[in-house]
Amino acid sequence: MNIPIHRFDAIIVGAGLAGLAAARELESHGKHVAVISKLHPLRSHSGAAQGGINAALKDKDSIDSHMFDTIKGSDYLADQDAVKLMCEGAPETIRWVEGMGVVFSREKNGDIAQRPFGGQSFPRACYAKDRTGLTLLQTIFEQADRDGVEYWDEWYVADIIQEDKNVYGVVAYNLKTLEPAIFNAKAVMLATGGYARAYKINSNAHANTGDGLSIYARHGLPLKDMEFVQFHPTGLAGTGILISEAARGEGGRLFNSEGERFMEKYAPEKMELAPRDLVSRAITKEILEGRGIGPNKDAVYLDLTHLGKDKILSRLPELRDLAITFLGLDMIQEPIMIAATAHYSMGGIPVDNEGRAKLNQEHRIHGLYAAGECACVSVHGANRLGANSLLEAIFFGRHVGQTIASDLNDKDFLIHKKPDMKDADRMLNEINNILTSSGDEKVPVLRAELQESMTKNAGVFRTEESLLKQRRKLKNLRERFKNIRIDDKSKIYNTDLQEALELGHMLDYSLFIIEGAIARKESRGAHFRDDYPKRDDKNFLKHTYATMNENGEINMEYKDVQLGIFEPQERTY
């Protein structure tokens, strides 16, 4: 089969904020860039971000304070040099996007308005009402488009082309026609977003199936800190659709069935504005101990009525609409019902501070880069603070764009190799196997079982028993996956095929979450073990680097955390 080969200087997989920021930067350095995305860029999950983006802008705030909050919030697992780089770059990142035309909400005196967010000692989240992500995404997309970035949207990337420690392209197919293509370049950047879709109750877009992570791991390359999945405290009851932390930032209060403002017990100082891991555990504990509300007693109240109509309409209009649409509750008049929801992926592809993918602490993989939620640099450690992820995506997206531009200028650094038709075999075989398989298992059934069991066994609270159960469940699901059948065999917009490929990815990276969580016999940030409720710096102030072999077995190594600025302390709020 003759497959078209497209050549670029650099290929970026993913058109969210990280991918677009990198693309714009590369284009401004005169490089020929293609952005490949399974969605139209403006449908990337970045566009769903509501609450804000952090930067220490005010005189009374400081970069040091932003760094400290981020590192303490991470439960000291963040690499402190990476945090420093990001926090120092935050004010300039805001100026960069503002210069492109992003319209932030403003104070009366014209300053950019900033709202408080959990775990922050100063109101430092810049925002555009509660549509911050969409405003950012639209602006950067338009500018990158105008500058000449080439978009290949509705193309599904199914593999990277790797030989030894070098990557020189990706293999993809057109979602509209099933036409395959090879994309050849000296530099490939993965910006494929997060993986919380492995959970039943989650806040993520349908596309957040962690494809980039499994594609990478299937080459025997390591994933870092995958056991750290963030559960956001306020998902709408039943669905998990996000009610941004902006709601608590603006003054929202949490109550249980007894009318108790229960955060008093868990974080007397910060109350509702404690970090997400802490608030999610508090809410879940209230529910488990029988003080939940609603028909199934599996939610608590988030009350915003005291803010008044004007504030809600001017600051939180989207959130109000979401609660009316999905719960039939108007937050101006009554409290709404919320519970914790899987939200964000702290783990991912290990990269150095310049975004170069790492094989281990010492060696990198030439030609491969990552940024945004799919990468683990790591600035969030064991728990991300609200409004730090948009910052990470844009700051590191742009920064990695600069790295690639300079690496492309260095003739000795990147290897150019002409791809071979055989490079597409892996993808073509995978697609062919799914299209021709005549088993009796159905993708939606397996996916539902995966999501339900992950929420139940590897959620806010975990134990050895629940995690071992989930390991067995995954083994069973992975066996059954070999026996699937899809009904649609056509070539036109075959969503059955895409969903099968995505489920394959979810089953692969979920293994990393579970094995990492079993091995980490401590509680740190978002990873809470009922059977090991304390943080254990002596044994686990370390990053997990895990690899998968051909039999689907996970091997784990641990690497030191980059400390040096703030010494680990007990984390109280």
The residues annotated as belonging to the active site are 276
Contacts for 260 with CB less than 8 Å, ≥ 6 apart = 291
SS3 153: strand
Among 10, 11, 16, 226, contact with ligand FAD (rule: CB under 6 A): 16
Quick check: 119 binds ligand FAD (CB under 6 A)? no
Q: Of residues 14, 275, 335, 381, which one binds ligand FAD by CB under 6 A?
A: 14
Backbone dihedral angles phi then psi of residue 208, each to the nearest 5 degrees: -80, 65
- DSSP secondary structure string, 337-386? EEEEEEEEE--BEEB-TT-EEESSSS-EEEEEEE-GGGEE-SSSTTSPPT
- Cα–Cα separations (whole angstroms), residue 117 to 66, 93, 257, 268, 357: 12, 19, 25, 16, 31
Query: Looking at beta carbons only, is 300 or 400 nearer to ligand FAD?
Result: 400
| Nearest distance from C-beta of residue 392 to ligand FAD, angstroms | 7
| Footprint of ligand FAD on 124-183 (CB under 6 A) | 132-133, 156-157
Rounded CA gap, 141 and 506, in Å?
28
37 binds ligand FAD (CB under 6 A): yes
CB of 409 to ligand FAD, least distance (A): 25
Distance CA 418, CA 143 (A): 32
Binding flags for ligand FAD, 203-232, as an x/- string (CB under 6 A): xx--xx--xx--------------------
Question: By CB under 6 A, how many residues form the interface with ligand FAD?
Answer: 45
> Contact at 8 Å (CB) between 275 and 570?
no
Tokens of residue 208, six digits: 């957040």
Q: How far is the CB of 436 from ligand FAD (least distance, A)?
A: 22
Stretch of residues binding ligand FAD (CB under 6 A), selected from 47-55, 424-432, 481-489, 554-562 = 47-55
Does 38 sit near ligand FAD (CB under 6 A)? yes
- Shortest CB 126 distance to ligand FAD, Å: 10
Taking the CA atoms of residue 366, residue 368, residue 372 and residue 374 in that order, the dihedral angle to the nearest 10 degrees is -110
193 binds ligand FAD (CB under 6 A): yes
> In this complex, which beta carbon is closest to ligand FAD, that of residue 234 or of residue 457?
234
Q: What is the largest CA-CA distance in the chain?
A: 68
Shortest CB 341 distance to ligand FAD, Å: 9
Range 335-374, binding ligand FAD (CB under 6 A) = 344, 372-374
Tokens of 122: 């100063």
Q: Which residues bind ligand FAD (CB under 6 A)?
A: 13-19, 36-39, 44-46, 48-53, 132-133, 156-157, 191-194, 203-204, 207-208, 211-212, 242, 244, 344, 372-374, 387-390, 393
